[in-house]
Amino acid sequence: MADQVKDLTMRIGVVGAGSWGTALADLLAAKGFAIDLWVYEPELVQGIRKHRENYLYLPGAALSKKLTPHGDLGPVVKGKDIVLMAVPSHLVRSVTQQMAPFMGRRIMLVSASKGIENETFLTMSQVFKDVIPTLKGSQIAVLSGPSFAREVAAGLPTAVSVASSDLITAQKVQAVFSTPQFRAYTNDDVIGVELGGAVKNVIALAAGIIAGLQLGLNTRAALITRGQTEIRRLGLKMNANPRTFTGLAGMGDLILTCTGDLSRNLTVGKRIGQGEAVNAILADMRMVAEGVKTARSVYYLSKKLDVEMPICHAIYQVLYENHSPLQALQGLMTRDLKYEFDAR
């Protein structure tokens, strides 16, 4: 591919060695970049070094020798041209604060974390700016789209969206990540791409509950379609481009997360639908289901902005107000009858 990066001397760090961070780090390392990866668990640092495998979060995937794990943030961030953030969304603020002393003035931050902060209702790129006010829009990009980590690690064809308010930045990140198996498209709608990636996890919890209750495919199709309407409503209120929600970071990611067996949020929803308690499910999981925390953010943000999001509100009630899934479903199905489409 003629438009891919040929300068493999670019210095890149990846912060977060969950399944997604590891898959992206290995993608770049396999392309030829020397990648430094920040790993939280000390035992996992040694495991990756010795066995070239992330046995906790991406077992079975052989990792490139050009990927170097570290237990400290300094070597991963200091002197880097690009740092990819791939930690769970509720940790982005604290980890960014820890990274700040090591960051150069021209560093480019790329967010692969999906969520909305509970306390501030900020997206991840907005958290970057809040922690480091000197960052310019041209130093920030977001990567999102329908992309299960395990399939990326297996080299299966994947397409994502890379968004930045600066087109040149988006194109640079596009070129860095693109391979014959991983295709990146540029976008200038940062808030739309981030909202699509965050709110779809809440809708995926609902899709899982539907599956757990064995309510059938009609119900799931309706849920995905009406969930898309809710994401679009919130996006329009926050000045996103409505076309974003028909693209990879919108409908693409929503469909994958609501239907794919590898979806953590779908799995959590299924278990809720089957009668398990939320706290027990989360205690049983090592990896994070982002939709659980994001449901709280979306609930309060939508109320603050006066955006109608009944599905997301129903999920909040199931998670945090002890509503039963069937009670939530009944509430959705017996709402006042309405015209299908919004005014815009």
Residues paired with residue 85 on neighbouring β-strands, in sequence order = 15, 111
Domain boundaries, the chain: 12-188, 192-333
State which H helix or E strand residue 276 sits in.
none
* Closest alpha carbon to 229 in 198, 193, 254, 194: 254
Give tens-digit pLDDT for 76-132. 999 999 999 999 999 999 999 999 999 999 999 999 999 999 999 999 999 999 999
- DSSP letter string over 129-156? HHH-TT--GGGEEEEESS--HHHHHTT-
What integer pLDDT is reported at residue 55 of this predicted model?
97
CA distances from 228 to 52, 188, 199, 257, 311 (A): 39, 20, 9, 12, 10
Average pLDDT, the chain: 96
What integer pLDDT is reported at residue 3 of this predicted model?
54
pLDDT band at 6 (very low <50, low <70, confident <90, very high): low
The active-site residue out of 80, 114, 200, 270 is: 200
Residue 156: CB atoms within 10 A of its CB come to 12
What integer pLDDT is reported at residue 4 of this predicted model?
61
pLDDT band at 5 (very low <50, low <70, confident <90, very high): low
Helix (H, G, I), strand (E, B) or coil at 13: strand
Give tens-digit pLDDT for 251-294. 999 999 999 999 999 999 999 999 999 999 999 988 889 999 99
Give tens-digit pLDDT for 29-80. 999 999 999 999 999 999 999 999 999 999 999 999 999 999 999 999 999 9
CA distances from 150 to 73, 155, 180 (A): 25, 9, 17
What integer pLDDT is reported at residue 287 of this predicted model?
84
**CA 213/CA 100 separation, integer angstroms:** 46
Give tens-digit pLDDT for 155-214. 999 999 999 999 999 999 999 999 999 999 999 999 999 999 999 999 999 999 999 999
What integer pLDDT is reported at residue 338 of this predicted model?
95
What integer pLDDT is reported at residue 8 of this predicted model?
86
Is 200 annotated in the active site?
Answer: yes
Question: For 12-188, CATH number?
Answer: 3.40.50.720
To the nearest 10 degrees (0 to 180), the angle between helices 190-212 and 290-305 is 120
- DSSP letter string over 223-270? HHHHHHHHHHHHHHHTT--GGGGGSIIIIIHHHHHHH-TT-HHHHHHH
Question: For 192-333, CATH number?
Answer: 1.10.1040.10
Give tens-digit pLDDT for 201-251. 999 999 999 999 999 999 999 999 999 999 999 999 999 999 999 999 999
With a pLDDT cut of 70, the percent of the chain lying above it is: 98
Structure tokens at 192: 């739309």
Structure tokens at 115: 């969520």
Kindly calculate the radius of gyration of the chain based on its CA atoms and give it in whole angstroms.
20
Do residues 156 and 181 make contact, with C-beta atoms less than 8 angstroms apart?
yes
